Amino acid sequence: MDYRLGELAEVLFKKVGFEPTGEEQARILRTRKRFKAIAGGEQSGKSFISSEDWLLHFIEDMSRFPGEPLLYWLVAADYERTRAEFGYITDDLTKLFGEIVEVSKRVDPGVIEVRRPGSDKPIVRIETKSGKDPRTLAMFAPNGVVVCEASQVDLETYMKCQARVTPKNGWITLGGTYEGALGWFPGLIAAWGYGDKDAQSFILPAPTNWHFYPGGVNDPKILRLKQESSDEFFLERIMGVASPPKGRVFTEFRPDVHIREVEYDPDLPLYIWEDPGYGHAHAILLAQKAQGGQVKVFKEFYERGIITEDMIDVLMGTFYWKNPNKKLVIDPNYAKQHAATRSIAEIWLAKTGLVAYGTKCRISEGTERVKSFLKVHPITGEPGIIFHPSCKGILSEFGACPNPFDGQTKVYSWKMDREGNVVGDDPDDRWNDGIKALSYGIVEEFGLVTTGARHEVIMRRYDGGARTPREERLAMRGRR
């Protein structure tokens, strides 16, 4: 069958003995974009197709960098999960280059090299990398990266891979089977589904691999799996289709848009936004407003079972504290709450000299204000707010990664009935500690979303727990 892969690809694949099992695999190989993400069902051939995609990139990179040694990474949550791609690439290179291919006996770490006879410099070097050891991702700049079992790789590892391929304008191919419908990988698949200039995602259902399922969707093994498993399991693990739960409050949040390697700028004012807690998460976000108004959340302290004084001590021990221009915002519902003989605001004032601010608003108002910052500007293509990937507490509340305390999916969601319908006007008051800190911080700094009519809010300054003469009613006109 003619899969329209191009003459070079067809010759290459003939030499290594590869043929796509169908149009679904061929379409992935035809698409020559820098970033690809493949959501595959179990035994769909995603590891095989990722390896063949690497082979095409390798040939392309030889033309892009003539005479230069090429470096590639196979990255996974641990070394063992690189084994399939490591083996497939070894087989292909051996068929192409024969005895000049040198392969390590282990994959922890593993190395594949192709050397010209008599030369000590490799034509190409492929290294395995483990997300459990971030130090392995901090050296050199690869021409390309294959992320193996991507759904099991954490967000920070993926972001580091992105940063490392940037110097050489390199590429990334990710392949994985869903381990749940929330998180950064399903979000990436959804975001890249329609494709853009540099990125494209693909769905690779298991029945498309006729090596394992010769009957396709009517194969007896597929029919048995469909009969014996839940709809969600069958869709995600077999068909490669995410089935996210209904009810997420912030459906606008997209990992590929809102998560960046945000850097702290000591010349900009420092925002400290806090939602106190003890039995639940105690969240402190550090943020800044860049030129153009984009908010950058670059650091969080997200702990449980730690008192306010100790949280403050940790913050004061960082170099961020040297910033002379700091502003503290505390969830106003907790600012006057007493811990022993002093309120939260009094503790901050006594230890740091910072006065706590906070603007009371309804949950719906705070939610809408955060949503307005998650929007992407139609001209610049930039969102109003971005987060560093290390802020795993608040990112877990948005659904971009697992909860940092127990590794479970705990997303800020609407109250739902048994039939999946939203109940009430306010979301379930759980798994929202970082989002509360964010909401009150944004409302305090930027005001509420208005429709143009006159809108009044109370701006409160918590100074020793008592109302000061400065506390006053401010009339705010709606922004145009």
Domains in the chain: boundaries: 7-244, 256-477
In the three-class reduction of DSSP (H, G, I as helix; E, B as strand; rest coil), residue 285 is classed as strand
Contact 153, 178 (CB under 8 A): no
Using a cut of 0.85, tell me whether the model's pTM lies above it.
Answer: no
Stretches in the chain below the pLDDT threshold 50 = 452-459, 464-480
Confidence at residue 88, expressed as pLDDT on a 0 to 100 scale: 96
- pLDDT tens sequence across 311-323: 999 999 999 999 9
In terms of Cβ atoms closer than 10 Å to its own Cβ (0-12, 13-18, 19+), residue 144 is: buried
State the CATH architecture for 256-477: 2-Layer Sandwich (3.30)
pLDDT in tens, 107-149: 999 999 999 887 888 999 999 999 887 677 877 899 999 999 9
213: tokens are 């399922």
Amino acid letter, residue 213 = Y
83 three-class SS: helix
Would you state the pLDDT for residue 478? 34
What are the structure tokens assigned to 323, written together?
């910033």
- In the DSSP assignment, the letter for residue 234 is I
Closest listed residue to residue 394, CA positions, set 423, 358, 344, 433: 433
Which parts of 103-217 fold into alpha helices (H)? 155-165, 184-191
- What pLDDT shows up at residue 195? 77
What is the Cα gyration radius of the chain?
26
Of 245, 234, 229, 238, nearest to 181 by C-alpha is 245
Cα 2 off chain centre by: 37
Is the distance from CB of 173 to CB of 149 less than 8 angstroms? no
Comparing CA positions, the residue from 88, 104, 196, 106 lying closest to residue 148 is 88
Task: Please report the beta strands in 361-421, taking only residues with DSSP state E, as ranges in sequence order.
Answer: 385-387, 414-416
The whole-number pLDDT of residue 1 equals: 62
Q: Distance (Å, rounded) from C-alpha 53 to C-alpha 398?
A: 32
Residue 182 Cα to chain centre, angstroms = 11
Report the CATH fold assignment for 7-244: Rossmann fold (3.40.50)
pLDDT of residue 154: 86
> Can you name the residues that pair with 454 across neighbouring β-strands?
477
Share in percent of the chain as helix, strand, coil (round to 5): 35, 25, 40
How many residues comprise the chain? 480
